[in-house]
Amino acid sequence: MLKELAHNLGRSVLRKHPPRWIIFVIDTFICLLAFFMAFYIRLNFDLEAIVQYPFKLILPIFIVARALVYVGFKLYSGLIRYSTVHDLERVMLVNISGSALILIASVSYRLVSGGEQNLIPLGVIIIEFLLSSVLMISARLLIKTLYFEINNSKGEVSNVVIYGIDDLAHLTKQAVESNGDMNSKVVGLINSNDNPGKCTGNTLAGVKIYSEDDLDVLVRTKGVSRLIIAREDLGVADRERLIEKCSDLHIKVLTVPITSEWINGKINAGQIRELKLEDLLERPEIKLDKTAVGKDIKGKVVLVTGAAGSIGSELVRQICSFDPAVMVMYDQAETPLHSLMLEVGNNGSGCRKEITLGDVTNAYRLEYILSKYRPEFVFHAAAYKHVPMLEDNPKEAMRTNVFGTRLLADLSVKFGVKKFVMISTDKAVNPTSVMGASKRMAEMYIQSLSTKKGHDTSFITTRFGNVLGSNGSVVGRFREQIEKGENVTVTHPDMARYFMTIPEAVQLVLEASTMGEGGEIFIFDMGKMVKIRDLARKMIMLSGLVPDQDVKIEYVGLRPGERLYEELLAEKENLMQTYHPKILRAKVNEVDHDAINNKLASVYSVLHKIDSQQVVGFIKEVVPEFESKNPLYADTEAELVEEKSGD
């Protein structure tokens, strides 16, 4: 009982962060102890010789000198339990400075008083420096050791290995072991197979270097449960190979941030994260030069619709970094919009941020917003995007994706917007779903405005593949299924898609806003398509599980409107290079504005009266290449709604 009480008391004390003055007092006491020990040693343990020195003068000088350097270097400000080699080096530096200050005071006293000897013997100063340094470092190491021993004694410590044998691996080890919340112990460093025999068997930073082939042995003998990748030069293929091996061994894989993301030039243990699916893209991540974008946007008024969504919110974040005059965020989703405002309101950007709540189909609200703020750039990200849901609700697809875009585009012309950038999708190419066809109609309308005379607004389209991590993406669904221990459901073994990350997608939008002159469709060169079943396998392995063993993949069949693969260009669209090798431009056939506007107007007034079959028939009339994969609409004829409805 008493032992348990003492243990809990020790843990409680060590868990609290002691006040800085306590650290200051402890360090000062250690130096005073070292000071008297130094006198005792230097004067051959002769107490009578020691008492002959004027300690009433010596002690104030010594204490003031030490206090000055402790305060000046803020030696007491760090948390002792997380002391690193850098902190111990600072102890040495502070003590050297203090000893130098004491020596200067001692020599100055001799010169002023005209005496023959220094106030404090040089030998005493040297011995005191050595003793105080050793004692202060030892005290820090002792407290750190006690903290981790007591902290981990009640909980299971996770044994980890670090993949890498260079300075980055060393820094990662320090970060892991200096963070008690990780409750982890580094038991080895892993040398990759591309360095056979090199350094294997040696030690670095006190731990042994193992071969990659020793991972299974480390799991059996040391219970290794996690591996941290600490190599920036590790390619995608090598990452996948390593992850597959770790998956078979039920080892969780983590990674450290790239050097540019370190905090104050250091790796923070909190930045060590689980490997993301984006890390396994089958191509290098696309990065764009944003200098031209910054010149265009700085000092301008910018409006983003759908600002609370995945793409819209990232647009807001990146645009704010270019210092626009006003950042107007427009969305109908109240809570996510409020959360975004709280986030960007504290991001350090000096631009004015305006939250505007409303629907893109609300003509009165939109006109008020554009008349009030007079944006020079409009980024249109508001849309319905879920294919199966829009198959069941084609009228809503028309209302938001088509008529909402038409309304916003017309108002942009009315209020002199400089550039209007629409976010479209690869599903708009030879569409097989209501969602894709509605986006193609929206593309056609804003393209038609590019040919219309009498305005100066440039209309630009950006066309995406699937976006990893966006709201409602397959990645989120797979992650939820894996966490629940359910089978991962894939529609078809051969289904494949183009993928990009949210930052990549947003960079494309911003780059397009700079290079676009009007009427173009911009796309990324995204490499080859990725099979969805391969995506599912990678996500299972990233969770430290084995596909088809721990988690099974179940094929459930194509949903209405879905197809096996998507296209980024229609056959009639001409592909051209831009000044960036990863951005391509499609110059499409011109669309007559009056013709498409009249067709849209004919159905707008009767949309509330007609049924889904009539809506789909109208879509087929406007988008002849639309071939529905939904059995409900497969036989629907392309027929003008106004003729069929009789209105």
What is the C-alpha separation between 157 and 144, in angstroms, rounded? 16
pLDDT higher than threshold 60 for residue 34: yes
Please report which confidence band the pLDDT of residue 3 belongs to, taking 50, 70 and 90 as the band edges: very low
pLDDT higher than threshold 80 for residue 576: no
Same domain as 416, residue 324: yes
Asked whether residue 219 is assigned to any structural domain, the reply reads yes
Please report which confidence band the pLDDT of residue 337 belongs to, taking 50, 70 and 90 as the band edges: very high
* Enclosing H/E stretch for 540: helix 532-542
Same domain as 437, residue 344: yes
Domain count, the chain: 3
CATH number, domain of 360, equals 3.40.50.720
Same domain as 183, residue 302: no
Per-residue pLDDT tens for 534-571?
A: 888 888 887 778 888 888 898 888 877 677 776 665 55
Same domain as 196, residue 141: no
Same domain as 313, residue 254: no
pLDDT higher than threshold 50 for residue 609: yes
Q: Which of 116, 135, 152 is the last residue in one of the domains?
A: 152
Same domain as 316, residue 172: no
Task: Please tell me the least confidently modeled range out of 9-18, 257-266, 484-493, 602-611.
Answer: 9-18
Same domain as 615, residue 504: yes
For 352, list phi and psi in degrees, rounded to 5: -80, 130
Q: What is the pLDDT of residue 268?
A: 63
Q: What is the pLDDT of residue 258?
A: 67
Kindly state the tokens that stand for 522: 């911009």
Same domain as 191, residue 79: no
What is the C-alpha separation between 224 and 372, in angstroms, rounded? 61
Asked whether residue 627 is assigned to any structural domain, the reply reads no
Same domain as 208, residue 148: no
pTM reported for the whole predicted model = 0.67
Asked whether residue 640 is assigned to any structural domain, the reply reads no
The rounded radius of gyration (Å) of the Cα atoms in the chain is 34
Same domain as 428, residue 372: yes
Q: Which of 152, 180, 211 is the last residue in one of the domains?
A: 152
- pLDDT above 90: percentage of residues in the chain: 23
Asked whether residue 641 is assigned to any structural domain, the reply reads no
Residues spanned by the domain of 75: 2-152
Asked whether residue 458 is assigned to any structural domain, the reply reads yes
Q: Which residues contact 571 (CB under 8 A, 6 or more apart)?
A: none
Same domain as 209, residue 143: no
Same domain as 70, residue 47: yes
Highest mean predicted confidence (pLDDT) among 441-445, 488-492, 602-606: 441-445
Nearest alpha-carbon partner for 188 in 153, 225, 155, 154? 225
